[in-house]
Homo-oligomer: A and B are copies of this chain.
């Protein structure tokens, strides 16, 4: 389980691929590997972050508590993604909480190592910038979806997203199975509303379920629903 960043495949998917051999060595020497159990936090909103977390395994939900007492899940981060980068770059406290949806294995990289490379290696900085530009585009798109689509459309979209990003298991169920409550926190609705719509999708043959597990049955119709028939 313990390994060197230089040999880590996960690196290929994030901005660390723009680091030089020497810089990677420094990261490898300063990093620590942590195991986070399902439901435990990597950090909570408001925390001062002393570094970033590179996800080797598992999925984390990034969420924020609204003044109405409900959590809104803003993003799901999985293998290869770096969590906490925004806060470290902006030198701010965490704007979101990061909680493990699964058992996770992450590498913690101290912010000094990151900041040092940011100042020395323009390619790395540019790579981080490109990733953040991508995240910003996604966030803008989420804003549009949240405000302009119905709950039904947003739930359909969430299922398609889960299939495309995390795949299916051998029985045709979504590989990442979220609780109904997490689903409602992703699409920004009441848990009961989400459950009702999921039941409706099941009745209409768009999906099949087994306990909390959900599988996509009629992808075409789900896509049509998202687009507005």
Question: Taking beta carbons and an 8 Å cutoff, which residues of A are in contact with B?
Answer: 64, 66-68, 70, 72, 74, 86, 89-90, 92, 95-96, 118-123, 125-126, 128-130, 132-137, 139-149, 187-189, 226-228
Contact = CB atoms under 8 A, between A and B. Distances in A.
Nearest to A139: B139
A145 B136 CA distance: 17
A90 B149 contact: no
A140 B142 CA distance: 9
A9 B220 CA distance: 54
A interface: dominant SS: helix
B188 A148 contact: yes
A208 to B, nearest CB: 27
A64 B135 CA distance: 16
**How many copies of this chain?**
2
B188 A146 contact: yes
A80 to B, nearest CB: 18
A118 to B, nearest CB: 6
A89 B129 contact: yes
A36 B2 CA distance: 58
Q: Nearest 5 pairs between A and B by C-beta? A: A147-B188, A66-B148, A139-B139, A90-B133, A146-B146
Contact of A148 (B68, B145, B226): B68
Most buried by B among A128, A146, A149, A188: A146
Contact of A122 (B67, B125, B149): B125
Nearest to A89: B133
Nearest to A135: B136
Nearest to A131: B90
Nearest to A188: B147
Contacts of A95: 137, 140-141
